[in-house]
Every structure is written in structure tokens, then in C-alpha cells.
Amino acid sequence: MSAAWLAAAWAGMGVVAGLCPVRVRRPVALIAPLVLLALSLVTAQAGARPDELGGGGLSLPREGAGLLSAAAAALWICLLLAERLDGREMLGIGTVGGATVLLLSTGSPLLFGVAALLAVVALSLRWIDAAPGRATLATGRVAGTGAAALIAAALLLPAVSPDAQLGLLGALLVVGVLALAAVVPLGGWASGALAELSAPEIATWLLLLAPAVLLSAFSIPGKLPLLASLAFQHTILTCGLIGAVWAGIASLRAGPATRYGRVALGDLALVAAGVGTGEPSAVAGALVLILTHLVAAPILLQSPRQGLGSPRRLIWLALCGLPPSPAFWGRFLILEACVAFGSAAAPCVVAGGLVTVAAVVTVARGEPGSGAPAPHHRVVAAWVVALVVLAVGLLPMSAVHLVFGPSA
Amino acid sequence: MLVDRRRAVMVACIAVALGLSPAAAIYGGGWAAVLVLGAAAAGAGAGPLAGLVAARMPPRPGLDPVQPVEAPPEGLFGPRSARVAGAVIALIAASWVSFNVPVGSVAVVQGALFPVAFVFTCGVLRVFLARSFTDLAVGVAVIALAVGVGWVLRGGTDPLPAAAGVIAIAPLAAGLEGWLASRRRPPAPVTGP
């Protein structure tokens, strides 16, 4: 199966599941992610990550297929545990997923930008439909502008002319990556949406689109001319570190309902900083952090309920950043990359420290559950997820190799 | 940049295609112009066609693409001063780009990139200043047409298929907007005692 067919399968299943009659919509929505998970694994091809700026055809690497399949599994758990499942959530998951497949597998800068634009249109349409408001509209406005910047950058490549505006090229790429990954100063839209949307809707961006954009961004500096590469790396490193510190402060101030979202935004910003360093250890750290959130998010994005206190505390411990939690290894590897790149270690440590304090405070205080006690299947799922996230912490690189392939 | 209401995407597609087809014809040949005008025709037809299909489906309350997401209905066609200011900024930005940024084989001194850069910047600003889904659809359609023509200007080997792929987004956006507008019905009025 080719990557193009996989993209069509994601989009097609999303449309079918989202638009089918009401009585079958929910069961179809619960089956579709599992089918997509299997299809993503079948489509995986050996080899390195495709070079988005270097030209070439569609080829889904093992790393991308691992991300897609892990995201499909995480989204399935989100749908399974959702307080209210309408079934139309699958419409957003499928269409954004189809565009994400193209994003991860393309070798053409133009298709990279177009895929980003399609993903943003699908995401913003779904989010505005689910919760009309300023925050969800901002998704289309800010992230759409970012996708347009990526397309504009495609027009300027390959920048071989001596008259080429290399700073402009780097700036366009930075705007695109920062806007899609919601990193400061273009990240306000995601923090607003966190408070308004249900877990499956948020997860479509947090677990699928944003990690795909950041993983793809690791390949960008390598093929740019020196000046454009430097502009890209230094800007994205600075913004990533500022974003991580800002998200750390926000996670301390946020209420229990949005604290996990702020922590996740902080880790995405750290991954963006890792993109700026361009170091191999940053890639490993990014994969560990992404995997940690793929496991933890389906539980922590849900509202706290009675009976879920202990497993949620365990999952929060996995995010606290103290060894041997998986978040510790991810943040430590990115810190190592920042040290290797230059003197950017201090903000990285501060950001990690703030998030650690937020997580430890949450663990110590607990989260008051509201409403009826959680059903048994939800409690069991929370304990299983807690054990998996602990296993990721004990064997981080084995888990990364299992999910993203041996070459990751 | 200023077009609104139900047929906004259709009008934008036609206007942009008419404006950019001479540039496409000069740098990409007759087929490039045909491609751009064909996309405009498809964009003009896609909205009403999707509307006809959607009208046969069961109605449901939901997203009205024309309705501003966060504004009272009477403010729908309110002041467009931000968009006018955006168009002025786009004019300056496009002028700078056309004389300073080389794209493919187009030399900067020719200034040939101006129409593409202007239309593209207008599309981006329309997205950035959007208040409704129709605004987003107009912006995306305009960006798609501008990038398609820009890709033809850029040259390279066989640019038409890639340009056609990008330009196809314009009728897609028009169709999606028309489908949403026709599928949505206002909720049934609540009858009082």
C-alpha cells in the first residue's frame, strides 16, 4: 500500500465514519482508528525520514508510520473513554490524519505546505463546528497563516541564486512550524482551544498534527543554504525555549482542567527547541517526549472522575521530569542537545523545573473528581495506561525503537 | 479581499483567475492560462453544485459558514477597514517582494511576481483576519490560485501538474463552503404556549 492510498484511507474512513447514520456512527468511530492503525503499520517502509525540501516522491518511513499508528491507538483510547461520543469526531481525525500522512511522507516542499494547509482547514472546520468561539476560529487564522507561510517557502526553494532572500526563506519556515506547533509567539490559539474542546478533538492536533510537523521540521535545516539554516535554527530555538518557560509558568497558574494541556504545550515547545539545535540527541529526546504524551494524553485530557485518582497520579509522576520518568529522559536529551549547540541550557532547565513543580503539586494535591464514579472500563484503562507509561520510563529507548522503528 | 456573503468564494475565484491568467499565459503558456480559468470555472460551479447535493440531504443545525463565529449577526457585514488596511499592506509587501525576491527563473528586476505576491498576501491576510468560515474558504481559494500561478512562474521541470494539484484546492474550498451553507438549516422555531 502506498502512502497516497494510506492518506486516502485516513480521509475516506474519517468522512464515512463522521457522516454515516447516527445509529451506526458511534460503533464505526470506535472501529475506524483500529483499522487505520493496522493500515499505517502495513504501509511503513524501511529507510530514513524523507527530506521535505529535497524533492522526491511519497514514501512513508517507519518513524512516520510508528507515529501514525501510535496516534491512532491513542485517539482510539480517547474516543473509547470520551464522556460523550458523537461519532463526528472521526471526521476531524480522519481528514487531519490523511493530510498528516502526506506531511510525513512527502519529499516535495510544495506538497508539504499544501498538506499542512489541508490539515489546518480540516482541523479548524471541525473545531469551529464543535465549539464555535474566538479560540477555535484562531486555529484557522493563525495556523492557516503558518501553512500559507510554508507554501510560500516552497516557492522560494531551491534558493540557489545569490540574490535570494535567505533570511526571508528561514523566517517563512519558522512561522510555519511555530504556528502549526503552537509555539510562542504563535501559540495562543492552542491554549485557548484547550479549555473549550473535548479530549478527542484536542488530541487530533496534540497527538497527530503537531508531533508530525515537529518531526518533519528536524529535516528542514539540513537542506537549506547556510544563512537560511542559521536564521531558521536560531529563531526556532529561541522561540522554543521561551515557549517552554512560558508554558511552565502557565502550567503552575492553570486550573486542573487545563494543566495537562499547558504541560503538553511546554513539551512541544521543548521539542521545537530541539529542532533548533539540530543535534541527533534532540531527535531522540523529541521521540521520547512525543511517545510519553501519546501514552499519557488519552487519560489526562479527560476530566478527573472519582476512582481515577491513583492512576492519574501515577501518570502525572511520569510527566514530572524526575528520573526514571519518561519525561525526564526526553527533557534530559533535549537539554544535552541545547548544551551541545551553545549556551542555551539555562532556559531549558528552568522550563523543565517549572513543569516538574506543576506536576509534583498536582500529584501531591490530587485532582478532585466530579460527577459519578468512573465506570470500571475507564478505571482499568487508566491503570493500563499508567503501567505502560511507567514501562516507557524504565526502558525509554526500547519503547522508542518499538514504536518508531530500530533506526529512530 | 472585500467580497462577502454567500457567493464570496465564487466571486473571489473568478476575480483572481481573471487577474492572474495573463501572468500564467506569459510564463506558462496557453495551457497554464486554461488551467487557471478552468479552476475559476470549477470554483464557480462547485459551490452551487455542492449546495444542490446538500439540499437533498437531511438538514441539520450547525456551522453556518457565513455567520461570524463570534459576533452578532448584525455585525456580519460591518466595517471592513481592517481588510482595506490589509490590502494596502499587501500592496507594499508585494511590491517589495516582486523587486527583491527571485523565484525560479523570474528575475527580480522584471517585477513579474507582483500580481502573484499581491494576491497571495491578500489571501493570507484574509485568512488572518477571518471572522467566519467563509472568510477562511475565500482566503484558502485565493492562496491556492496564487500559489498555482506562482509555481508556473517559478518554472522547473513540468510545473503544470503540481500547479494543477494546488489550484484544485480552490474549487474544493468553494464546494465545501457551498455544501456547508446548504446543508445547514436554522433550528425549528420554538412555539410558545
The helix, strand and coil proportions of chain A, stated in percent and rounded to the nearest 5, come to: 75, 0, 25
Q: Which residues, including other chains, have CB under 8 Å from residue A104's CB and lie 6 or more apart? A: A50, A60, A61, A64, A67, A68, A212, A215, A216
CA A207 centroid distance within chain: 4
Better-scored residue on pLDDT, A145 or B153: A145
Contacts of B169 in chain A (CB under 8 A): 114, 117-118
Whether the pLDDT of residue B163 is over 70: the answer is: yes
CB A151, CB B147: distance < 8 Å: yes
Better-scored residue on pLDDT, A161 or A87: A87
Residue with cell 487557471: B36
| pLDDT computed for residue B54 by the predictor | 78
Of A118, A145, A156, nearest to B127 by CB-CB distance is A145
CB A120, CB A224: distance < 8 Å: no
Q: How far apart are the two ends of chain B, measured CA to CA in Å?
A: 47
| Spatial separation of the C-alpha atoms in residues A168 and A90, rounded to whole Å | 38
Phi/psi of residue A299, nearest 5 degrees = -90, -45
Average the pLDDT over A119-141 and give the result: 88
Average the pLDDT over B10-20 and give the result: 88
CB B69, CB B193: distance < 8 Å: no
Of the candidates A404, A146, A181, A399, the one whose C-alpha atom is nearest the C-alpha of residue A296 is A399
Cell matching residue B121: 498576501
Residue ranges in B69-158 assigned as alpha helix (H)? 81-100, 114-128, 133-154
Of B100, B120, B140, nearest to A152 by CB-CB distance is B120
Give me the half-sphere count of Cα atoms (radius 13 Å) on the Cβ side of residue A323. Answer: 4
| pLDDT computed for residue B107 by the predictor | 61
Contacts of A136 in chain B (CB under 8 A): 69
Return the HEC string of A108-156. Answer: CHHHHHHHHHHHHHHHHHHHHHHCCCHHHHHHHHHHHHHHHHHHHHHHH
CB atoms < 10 A from the CB of A79, how many?
Answer: 22
| pLDDT computed for residue B76 by the predictor | 46
The helix, strand and coil proportions of chain B, stated in percent and rounded to the nearest 5, come to: 70, 0, 30
| pLDDT computed for residue A117 by the predictor | 92
Residue A84 DSSP one-character state? S
| Spatial separation of the C-alpha atoms in residues A94 and A74, rounded to whole Å | 14
CB A306, CB A367: distance < 8 Å: no
Of A117, A129, A168, nearest to B101 by CB-CB distance is A168
A311-366 residue pLDDT tens: 888 888 888 888 888 888 888 898 888 888 876 777 777 777 777 877 777 777 77
Contacts of A140 in chain B (CB under 8 A): 127, 130, 133, 136
Of the candidates B104, B113, B137, the one whose C-alpha atom is nearest the C-alpha of residue B123 is B137
Residue A74 DSSP one-character state? H
Q: Which amino acid is at A73?
A: A
Pairwise CB contact (< 8 Å): B131 & A137? yes
Of the candidates A166, A135, A151, A356, the one whose C-alpha atom is nearest the C-alpha of residue B148 is A151
Residue with cell 482541523: A123
Pairwise CB contact (< 8 Å): A148 & B176? no
Of the candidates B14, B18, B125, B130, the one whose C-alpha atom is nearest the C-alpha of residue B68 is B130
Least CA distance to A108: which residue of chain B?
A: B162
Helix B114-128 to helix A144-156 angle (10° resolution) is 160
ipTM of the complex: 0.85
Of the candidates A267, A285, A210, A272, the one whose C-alpha atom is nearest the C-alpha of residue A236 is A272
Model confidence at A288, pLDDT cuts 50, 70, 90, reads very high
Of A124, A145, A164, nearest to B128 by CB-CB distance is A145
| Spatial separation of the C-alpha atoms in residues A276 and A295, rounded to whole Å | 25
Whether the pLDDT of residue A179 is over 90: the answer is: yes
CB A281, CB A273: distance < 8 Å: no
Model confidence at B185, pLDDT cuts 50, 70, 90, reads low
Signed CA dihedral, A298, A300, A305, A306: sign only: positive
Pairwise CB contact (< 8 Å): B176 & A125? yes
Phi/psi of residue A60, nearest 5 degrees = -90, 115
**How far apart are the CA of B76 and the nearest CA of chain A, in angstroms?**
15
Model confidence at A212, pLDDT cuts 50, 70, 90, reads very high
Whether the pLDDT of residue B73 is over 60: the answer is: no
Contacts of B150 in chain A (CB under 8 A): 155
Least CA distance to A129: which residue of chain B?
A: B63
Average the pLDDT over B152-173 and give the result: 84
Q: Of chain B residues 107-166, which have a CB less than 8 A from chain A?
A: 108, 120, 123-124, 127-131, 133, 136, 139-140, 143, 147, 150-151, 154, 162, 165-166
Pairwise CB contact (< 8 Å): B69 & A121? no
Interface size A-B, in CB pairs within 8 Å, comes to: 86
| Spatial separation of the C-alpha atoms in residues A273 and A404, rounded to whole Å | 21
Least CA distance to A165: which residue of chain B?
A: B101
Better-scored residue on pLDDT, A117 or B64: A117
Pairwise CB contact (< 8 Å): B69 & A134? yes
Contacts of A156 in chain B (CB under 8 A): 101, 103
Average the pLDDT over B28-39 and give the result: 86
Distance set, CA B121 to CA A170, B104, B179 (Å) = 18, 19, 27
Whether the pLDDT of residue A46 is over 90: the answer is: no
| Spatial separation of the C-alpha atoms in residues A173 and B166, rounded to whole Å | 19
Of A136, A151, A156, nearest to B101 by CB-CB distance is A156
Better-scored residue on pLDDT, A289 or B30: A289
Q: Of chain B residues 10-39, which have a CB less than 8 A from chain A?
A: none
Of the candidates A107, A231, A108, the one whose C-alpha atom is nearest the C-alpha of residue A167 is A231
CB A294, CB A72: distance < 8 Å: no
Of B62, B70, B123, nearest to A134 by CB-CB distance is B70
Phi/psi of residue A307, nearest 5 degrees = 100, -15
Whether the pLDDT of residue B151 is over 60: the answer is: yes
| pLDDT computed for residue A272 by the predictor | 92
CB burial readout A340-357, b (16+ within 10 A) else e: ebeebbebbeebbebbbe
Pairwise CB contact (< 8 Å): A132 & B130? no
Residues in chain A: 408
CB atoms < 10 A from the CB of A380, how many?
Answer: 12
Distance set, CA A46 to CA A42, A53, A180, A223, A402 (Å) = 11, 20, 27, 21, 14
Q: What is the DSSP string of B86-102?
A: HHHHHHHHHHHHHHH--
Whether the pLDDT of residue B75 is over 50: the answer is: no
CB B132, CB B8: distance < 8 Å: no
Of A114, A141, A155, nearest to B127 by CB-CB distance is A141
Distance set, CA B97 to CA A54, A147, B92 (Å) = 24, 19, 9
Average the pLDDT over A138-165 and give the result: 82
Least CA distance to B109: which residue of chain A?
A: A163
Phi/psi of residue B118, nearest 5 degrees = -65, -50
Model confidence at B106, pLDDT cuts 50, 70, 90, reads low
Whether the pLDDT of residue B187 is over 80: the answer is: no
| pLDDT computed for residue A71 by the predictor | 92
- The whole model's pTM is what? 0.89
CB A241, CB A349: distance < 8 Å: no
B57, B60, B69, B183: best to mutate for the A interface, most A CBs within 10 A: B69
A127, A129, A136, A151: best to mutate for the B interface, most B CBs within 10 A: A151
